[in-house]
C-alpha cells in the first residue's frame, strides 16, 4: 500500500501580466509513482511545481490530491514535502533540528519526535552528523538532510526542484539511486523537476516533457524515448536523426521518398500521404553495413568522422544528398572495421523508424 497520494492537475495555468508561464497543464498520477517534469528553462516546469506546492497562485485550473482540491489551500496546510534546489536548510539549526522541524510544527510530542528523527537521519546515513550544522556538511550530505526533512512527516506528495543540480556527476548518480530506492521502499508519490533528460529516464515511472508552458508529451520513459510523438520531444531527449521525406502510398504499403529520390519502408504513421515529414531514427538503431546486407532499408553514405565514447563510437555519416546522420556502434572489438572516408551503407529496420511532422 503506497504511502503517497494520487495527484491530478486540471488545466492548471499561470499568467503573469498577460504573459503565460503555464498554459493549461493536465495530468493524472497514480499513488506511489515517480513523475518527472522535464523541459528546458522557461518551459513552465518549476512554475507548475510551485503551484502544486502552494507558493504560486494558479490563474486557472485545479490541483487535486487524492481527489480533493488543494488549489486554494495555504502552503503550510498542504502536507507536501519539498526538496529545494539549494536545499534551503535552516542554518541556525542542527541536522536533527532541521529534520525535526516539520514534526515540531505538527506539535508532535518530544519523544515521538526524537524517534522519527533518529529513524530518518539513519535512513539517509547521517547518524554521525546529527548534531552538526548545515555549513559543516558537504553538498551531498546537505542534500540528504533536505531529503530526510521532506520525508520525515510522511507527506502526501514529495516535491523536488532540481535537487541534484549542484552535485558532481558521481554523487548525482549515487543520489539518484538512493532517492529512487527510498521512493520505492516507502511508496512515495514524487514530483521531480529537472532539465537533465538522463535523470528523467533513469528515475521516473512517468515523464511529462514540457515546452512553452504545455505538456508536449506524457508517458513512461520508454515510450518517451522510443516512441516520441513530436519532433521537440524526439530532439530534447537523447540523440536523434531526422531525415526529411514525403510519404507515398504504394499497394497498401507506406513508403517514404527521401530527397535523394530513394524510397524506404517505414512503420506506421499518422501523417497523410504526400505530406512532408521527417524520418526519426535513434543513432543506436542505425547500422553501418555492406551493400549486400539483409536489412530492408539501406542508404549509401560516406564516413566523415568518429567520436570515441569508450563503450561505443558515434560515426558521422554523410548520405548521398549531403545530409549527415549519426550512427552509434558498441565497441565490441569485432565486426566490420570502419575508417574515416569509407563508403558504406547505413541501414535500419522499418519498425525502428517513426515518421514525424516536419
Partner 1 sequence: MTDTTLAARAASAPGVPVRTKAGRGVYPWLALPAIGFYLIFFGWPLVQMMWRSVFDDGFTFAGYWEFFSLPIYWYVLGYTMAIGVVTLVLTLAIGYPVAYWLVRLDRTWTVVLMAFVLIPFWSSGLVRTYAWIVILGRQGVVNNLLIRLGIIDQPFAFLGTHWAVMVGLTYYLLPYMILCLYSVMNNIDRNLMKAARNLGASPFRAFLTVFVPLTKPGVFAGSFLVFMLAIGMYITPALLGGPEQTTLPLVIALQINEALDWTLAAALSMVLLAFTIIIQLFANRFVDLDHMWGGAR
The SS3 assignment for 155 reads coil
Q: Which stretch binds partner 1 (CB under 8 A): 70-78, 209-217, 257-265, 301-309?
A: 70-78
Q: Which stretch binds partner 1 (CB under 8 A): 50-58, 223-231, 270-278, 295-303?
A: 50-58
Q: Does 298 bind partner 1 (CB under 8 A)?
A: no
Q: Does 163 bind partner 1 (CB under 8 A)?
A: no
Q: Does 141 bind partner 1 (CB under 8 A)?
A: yes
CA distance 132 to 142: 11
CA distance 262 to 258: 5
Q: Which stretch binds partner 1 (CB under 8 A): 21-29, 30-38, 71-79, 311-319?
A: 71-79
Q: Are 154 and 185 in contact (CB under 8 A)?
A: no
Q: Does 179 bind partner 1 (CB under 8 A)?
A: no
Backbone angles phi, psi at 53, to 5 degrees: -70, -25
Q: Which stretch binds partner 1 (CB under 8 A): 62-70, 119-127, 197-205, 242-250?
A: 119-127
Q: Which stretch binds partner 1 (CB under 8 A): 34-42, 117-125, 200-208, 321-329?
A: 117-125
| Torsional class of 282: left (φ above 0), alpha (ψ -120 to 50), beta (otherwise) | beta
Q: Which of 232, 234, 74, 85 is nearest to 146 (CA)?
A: 85
CA distance 290 to 295: 10
Which CB sits closer to partner 1, 152 or 288?
152
Q: Does 82 bind partner 1 (CB under 8 A)?
A: yes
Q: Does 185 bind partner 1 (CB under 8 A)?
A: yes
Pairing label, strands 19-29, 34-38: unpaired
Q: Are 283 and 326 in contact (CB under 8 A)?
A: yes
- Residue choice 28, 72, 75, 351 for contact with partner 1 (CB under 8 A): 75
- Residue choice 16, 57, 72, 90 for contact with partner 1 (CB under 8 A): 90
The sheet that has 190-194: what strands, in order across it?
80-83, 157-161, 190-194, 34-38, 206-211, 214-219
- Residue choice 11, 40, 57, 125 for contact with partner 1 (CB under 8 A): 125
Q: Are 2 and 31 in contact (CB under 8 A)?
A: yes
The CA angle 68-74-78, to the nearest 5 degrees, is 50
CB of 75 to partner 1, least distance (A): 4
Q: Does 288 bind partner 1 (CB under 8 A)?
A: no
Q: Does 232 bind partner 1 (CB under 8 A)?
A: no
Q: Does 72 bind partner 1 (CB under 8 A)?
A: no
CB of 218 to partner 1, least distance (A): 26
Lookup: cell for 295: 536489412
The SS3 assignment for 20 reads strand
Interface contacts to partner 1, rule CB under 8 A: 53-55, 74-82, 84-86, 88-92, 101-102, 105-106, 119, 122-129, 133-141, 144, 149-150, 153, 159, 171, 174, 178, 181-182, 185
Amino acid at each position: 500500500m503506497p504511502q503517497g497520494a494520487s495527484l491530478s492537475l486540471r488545466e492548471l495555468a499561470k499568467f503573469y501580466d498577460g504573459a503565460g508561464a503555464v498554459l493549461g497543464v493536465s495530468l493524472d498520477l497514480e499513488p506511489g509513482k515517480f513523475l518527472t517534469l522535464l523541459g528546458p528553462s522557461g518551459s513552465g516546469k518549476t512554475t507548475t511545481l510551485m503551484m502544486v506546492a502552494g507558493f504560486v497562485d494558479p490563474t486557472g485550473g485545479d490541483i487535486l490530491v487524492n481527489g480533493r482540491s488543494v488549489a486554494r489551500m495555504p502552503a503550510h496546510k498542504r502536507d507536501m514535502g519539498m526538496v529545494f534546489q539549494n536545499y534551503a536548510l535552516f542554518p541556525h539549526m542542527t541536522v536533527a533540528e532541521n529534520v525535526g522541524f516539520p514534526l515540531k510544527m505538527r506539535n508532535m510530542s518530544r519523544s515521538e519526535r526524537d524517534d522519527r528523527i533518529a529513524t530518518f537521519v539513519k535512513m539517509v546515513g547521517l547518524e554521525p552528523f546529527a548534531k552538526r550544522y548545515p555549513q559543516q556538511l558537504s553538498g551531498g550530505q546537505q542534500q540528504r538532510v533536505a531529503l530526510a526533512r521532506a520525508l520525515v512527516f510522511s507527506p502526501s506528495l514529495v516535491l523536488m526542484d532540481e535537487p541534484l543540480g549542484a552535485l558532481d556527476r558521481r554523487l548525482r548518480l549515487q543520489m539518484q539511486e538512493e532517492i529512487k530506492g527510498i521512493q520505492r521502499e516507502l511508496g512515495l508519490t514524487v514530483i521531480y523537476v529537472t532539465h537533465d533528460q538522463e535523470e528523467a529516464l533513469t528515475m521516473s515511472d512517468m515523464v511529462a516533457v514540457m515546452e512553452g508552458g504545455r505538456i508536449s508529451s506524457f508517458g513512461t520513459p520508454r515510450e518517451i524515448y522510443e516512441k516520441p510523438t513530436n519532433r521537440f520531444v524526439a530532439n530534447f531527449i537523447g540523440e536523434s536523426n531526422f531525415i526529411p521525406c514525403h510519404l507515398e502510398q504504394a499497394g497498401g504499403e507506406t513508403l517514404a521518398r527521401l530527397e535523394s529520390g530513394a524510397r524506404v519502408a517505414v512503420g506506421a504513421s499518422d501523417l497523410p500521404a504526400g505530406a512532408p515529414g521527417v524520418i526519426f531514427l535513434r543513432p543506436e538503431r542505425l547500422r553501418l553495413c555492406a551493400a549486400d546486407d539483409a536489412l530492408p532499408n539501406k542508404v549509401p553514405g560516406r564516413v566523415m568522422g568518429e567520436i570515441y565514447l569508450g563503450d561505443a563510437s558515434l560515426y558521422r555519416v554523410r548520405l548521398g544528398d549531403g545530409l549527415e546522420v549519426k550512427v552509434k556502434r558498441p565497441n565490441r572489438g569485432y565486426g566490420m572495421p570502419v575508417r574515416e572516408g569509407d563508403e558504406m551503407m547505413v541501414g535500419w529496420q522499418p519498425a525502428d523508424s517513426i515518421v514525424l511532422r516536419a
